[in-house]
């Protein structure tokens, strides 16, 4: 009969908030194509004891940590906010027949979820499975473009060995086999197998650094200040103009694309976390300088970071890289 349990897997999708106007909306076309389903209708049942003006949604949350199965939850129905509590990872919400949209915020361990428009007939109970994304889970992000420059005092055969930590899908250029063996020249040219390079390059997917640390020092940078901010910091640290241009042409557009970003730098030993870098012969100075940025809704007050100053005497090796982090100071619901 109609109230028999019918196993459905009707899918609706992670709702894309229509944000008319703005770059974001335009950029979306491509992103839209890759949307992932977050709300699955898994069960519908007719409830003869409900009135004609009653319907019920049951949301069953997936990827919930066991400690959160009875957690308090903030949610909204059609933009009106409520508080509730999960029971065994579920919440039941009585409502009226018709179209409704929902938003859920559990706690800082999870991203907020938005339903699309969910439609329900009178006297029905619809059960949705809701896929949650944990913020602190091992969602790998790319550690972008560490490039390594070598500036020996005289023409030197150099062996550069890199041990990437917990990195997936690494990309190297030029090709890396156990190490890069090259002839480095004082002007920064790197000769490998008869070909000249200006830098050695690697990239890999790794854990999101800002999610793993306490971000108590950093910078809040407006998109329009991206270039002057980077020029200022890199000059202060001691990048050459060529290194600075390589850095800024890579990171500048990413920083400029956000209205506001939280920026934090890490340098030297801290960067061993991403990869150990061994250079033979040992340079007089090995400098590593990584940038971490995440888009934020509005400026945040941060303690500015005191940055190092590179000593560029003798044989110097410099590496720069970074990540676009998902780190967020908590907001919204």
Partner 1 sequence: MMKSTYLLLLFLLISMISFAEEKRIAANFIFEKSEPASGLPVNTGVYHFKFSDLDKVDLSARITLSCDDGMNETIQLKKGAFEYQVTEGSHRFVIYVNDNYFEVYSHNLPLVANEKHYYSIRTFRTEGMQIEVDKPIIYLYPESTATFEVNVEAKGEMAFTYPPYNENWTGTMHPNGNLEIEGEVYKYLFWESKQEMDALNPKETAGFVVTSDNITSFLEEKLNYVGFTASERADFITFWGPQMQKEEQVFVTFHQDLDCNAFAELNISPAPDNLHRFYMSWGAYDGNHIPKAQELTPFQREGFTAIEWGGQEIPTISNTLSL
Map the footprint of partner 1 across residues 42-101, applying CB under 8 A. Answer: none
- Shortest Cβ distance from residue 46 to partner 1 (Å)? 11
- Which of residues 1, 5, 80, 195 is near partner 1 by CB under 8 A? 195
Using the rule CB under 8 A, is 12 a contact of partner 1?
Answer: yes
Min. distance of Cβ 269 from partner 1 in angstroms?
Answer: 25
Residue 184 touching partner 1 (CB under 8 A): no
Look at residue 300 and give its three-state secondary structure: coil
Please list every residue from 202 through 221 that binds partner 1, using CB under 8 A. Answer: 203
What are the backbone dihedrals phi and psi of residue 53, each rounded to the nearest 5 degrees, phi first?
-105, 15
3-state secondary structure of 322: strand
Near partner 1 by CB under 8 A: residue from 61, 102, 149, 199: 199
C-beta of 259: minimal distance to partner 1 in Å?
8
* Residues 290-309 interacting with partner 1 (rule: CB under 8 A): 294-297
Q: Which of 58, 141, 213, 222 binds partner 1 (CB under 8 A)?
A: 141
CB 220 within 8 A of CB 301: yes
Interacting positions 232-271 with partner 1 (CB under 8 A): 241-242, 245-246, 248-249, 252-253, 256-259
Residue 297's contacts (CB-CB under 8 Å, 6 or more residues apart) are: 259, 260, 331
The backbone torsions φ and ψ at residue 95, rounded to the nearest 5 degrees and listed phi first, read -155, -170
Is 180 an interacting residue with respect to partner 1 (CB under 8 A)? no
- Please give the torsion angle defined by the CA atoms of residues 255, 261, 267 and 270, in that order, rounded to the nearest 10 degrees: -130
Q: Are strands 124-131 and 55-62 parallel, antiparallel or unpaired?
A: parallel
Cα angle, residue 257 at apex, residues 253 and 258 outer, rounded to 5°: 130
Is the Cβ of residue 37 or residue 94 nearer to partner 1 in the bound state?
A: 37
Q: Which of residues 108-137 bind partner 1 (CB under 8 A)?
A: 111-112, 114, 116-117, 119, 121, 133
* Residues 148-177 close enough to bind partner 1 by CB under 8 A: 169, 171, 173-175
Give the whole-angstrom CA distance, residue 321 versus residue 311.
19
């Amino acid at each position: 009969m109609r109230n028999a349990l019918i196993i459905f897997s009707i899918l609706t999708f992670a709702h894309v908030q229509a944000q008319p106007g703005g770059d974001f909306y335009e950029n979306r076309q491509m992103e839209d194509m890759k949307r992932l389903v977050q709300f699955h209708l898994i069960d519908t049942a007719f409830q003869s004891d409900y009135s004609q003006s009653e319907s019920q949604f049951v949301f069953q949350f997936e990827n919930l940590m066991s400690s959160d199965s009875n957690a308090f939850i903030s949610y909204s129905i059609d933009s009106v906010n409520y508080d509730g509590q999960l029971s065994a990872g579920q919440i039941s919400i009585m409502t009226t027949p018709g179209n409704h949209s929902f938003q859920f915020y559990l706690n800082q361990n999870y991203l907020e979820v938005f339903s699309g428009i969910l439609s329900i007939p009178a006297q029905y109970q619809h059960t949705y499975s809701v896929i949650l994304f944990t913020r602190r889970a091992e969602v790998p992000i790319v550690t972008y473009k560490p490039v390594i420059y070598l500036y020996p005092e005289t023409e030197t055969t150099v062996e550069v060995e890199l041990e990437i930590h917990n990195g997936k899908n690494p990309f190297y250029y030029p090709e890396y086999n156990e190490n890069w063996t090259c002839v480095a020249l004082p002007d920064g040219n790197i000769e490998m197998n008869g070909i000249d390079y200006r830098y050695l390059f690697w990239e890999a997917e790794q854990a999101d650094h800002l999610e793993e640390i306490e971000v108590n020092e950093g910078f809040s940078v407006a998109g329009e200040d991206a270039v002057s901010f980077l020029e200022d910091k890199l000059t202060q640290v001691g990048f050459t103009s060529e290194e600075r241009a390589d850095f800024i042409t890579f990171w500048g557009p990413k920083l400029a694309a956000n209205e506001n970003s939280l920026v934090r730098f890490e340098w030297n030993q801290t960067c061993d976390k991403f990869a150990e870098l061994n250079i033979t012969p040992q340079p007089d100075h090995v400098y590593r300088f990584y940038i971490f940025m995440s888009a934020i809704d509005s400026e945040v007050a941060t303690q500015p970071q005191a940055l190092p100053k590179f000593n560029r005497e003798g044989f110097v090796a410099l590496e720069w890289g970074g990540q676009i982090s998902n780190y967020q100071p908590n907001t919204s619901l």
